[in-house]
Amino acid sequence: MKRNYTSEDVAKLAGVSQSTVSRVFAGTTQVSEKKKKKILEAATKLQYRPNAHARSLTTRKSSMIGIIVRNIRNPFYSAVLEIFHRRLSALGYHLIFINSENEKIQDKEIGQLLDYRIQAVIITDALIASAAAEKLKQHGIAVFLFNRYTKHSNNTAVYCDNYLAARQIATYLIELGHKSFAFISGPHDTSTTVDRLKGFREVLEKNKIKDFIVEAGHYTYESGYKLAQELMLRCKDIDCIFCGNDIIALGAMDAIRVMGFKIPEQVSVVGFDNIDMSDWPAYSLTTWEQPVEEMIEWVVRKISGHPDEKNNKGETIMMKGHLVIRNSVKSRK
C-alpha cells in the first residue's frame, strides 16, 4: 500500500524542522527561499499534501475558498484562475469556482458558496448585489475584489493603477505623434473602464487633442472586432485605438486588417493586460502588463492569515504595472 507521508517526513528529507515545513505550507515569508525550495522539492518527491481537514479543525476555519468569474472566456481571467488554484492548493485550500451568468452576482450564486461553508470569496470581473454582499457579511465571510474596487465598500480590494496606466499610455502615443484617437472600452460602469478612460482623456485634453472617440463595448473579442469595424468605416483618419483589454485589441486588429488597413503603418493599436496571446507573432501587441502575480500573492497572504500580516478589513491596495512595447504601434513623426 502507498504510504501517506506526513510533514515530519518532509522535514526529515529536507533537513529542516517540522515547524519550518508548517510555516512554508501556511504561506509565511519567514522562511528563506533556499529552505523553501528544499521543502517543496521534498514534498513533491513524497507526494505530500497538507491535511486541510486537520488544519480546519485547528484553526476553526474552512479550507474552501470561493472564486467568482463572469467572463471565463477572457484569457486574462482564465490565467488568474489557474494561478489562484495553484497558489491556494499548495497551501491546502480547495477552490470552489462559479462562472457567474450575470453582470451582478446574484443571491442564489452566493447561496451555492454558503453550502460549502467557504472561508472567503474572491470576486474578479463581476459586481456584487447588495443583498448578496449582506448575506456574506452575516456569515462572516471575507470578500476580496480582484482587479477592481467599489467606492464606499467594506470589502477588501486589490487592483492595478488603471488611471496612471492610461495616462502613461496616452503620453507615449502622443510623444510618437498620434493625433486622432479612439478608445474601445468594456462596460462603462466598471472601475477599470472608468479609471482607464479618465486617465487617457485627461492627457489628451492637457495636450489640446479633441479628436477622441469613445465606444463602450464588452471585454470580448467579438466586441473589439465589431466596434473597430464601425470605427474604421465612420472615421478612416483614426491613427490610434486604445483598447480596454487585450482580447478587445486582438478582435480590433483582426477587423482592421480584414478591412484592408495596415497595423501599425496606418493604425496603431494598444491593449491592456499582457495576456499570452498578445505576444503571438500575428499580433505582437503593445500593451500594459498588470502585476498579476503580485496581486494574487497579496490576496493569498490575506486569506492564509500570515503572522506578519495585519487583518485590515476593507483595505484597498493599488499596484503599478508597466508598458510592454511591441510592434503594434508606430511613430507618426
The pLDDT of residue 187 is: 85
Q: What is the pLDDT of residues 206-240, one digit of tens each?
A: 999 988 999 999 999 999 999 999 999 999 889 99
**Which domains can be identified in the chain, with CATH numbers?**
7-49 (1.10.260.40), 56-146 (3.40.50.2300), 162-290 (3.40.50.2300)
Residue 157: how many CB atoms within 10 A of its CB? 21
- Give residue-wise pLDDT tens across range 35-53: 888 888 888 888 887 665 5
Beta bridge partners of 65: 95, 120
Highest mean pLDDT among 12-21, 35-44, 120-129, 258-267: 258-267
322 or 135: which carries more pLDDT confidence?
Answer: 322
Question: Which is more confident, 85 or 310?
Answer: 85
Identify the band that residue 308 occupies on the pLDDT scale cut at 50, 70 and 90: very low
Cell triple for residue 101?
451568468
Does residue 60 carry a pLDDT above 70?
Answer: no
- Residue-level pLDDT at 101: 66
Contact criterion met (CB below 8 Å) for 243 and 249: yes
What band does 62 get if pLDDT is binned at 50, 70 and 90?
low
| Residue 159 confidence (pLDDT) | 94
CB 197 within 8 A of CB 165: no
Tell me whether strands 212-216 and 181-185 are parallel, antiparallel or unpaired: parallel
C-alpha cell belonging to residue 98: 462559479
Q: Tell whether omega for the bond before 264 is within 30 degrees of 0, i.e. cis.
A: yes
Among 271, 214, 276, residue whose Cα is nearest residue 248: 271
Task: List pLDDT tens digits, range 143-193.
Answer: 898 998 877 667 789 999 999 999 999 999 999 999 999 999 988 878 889
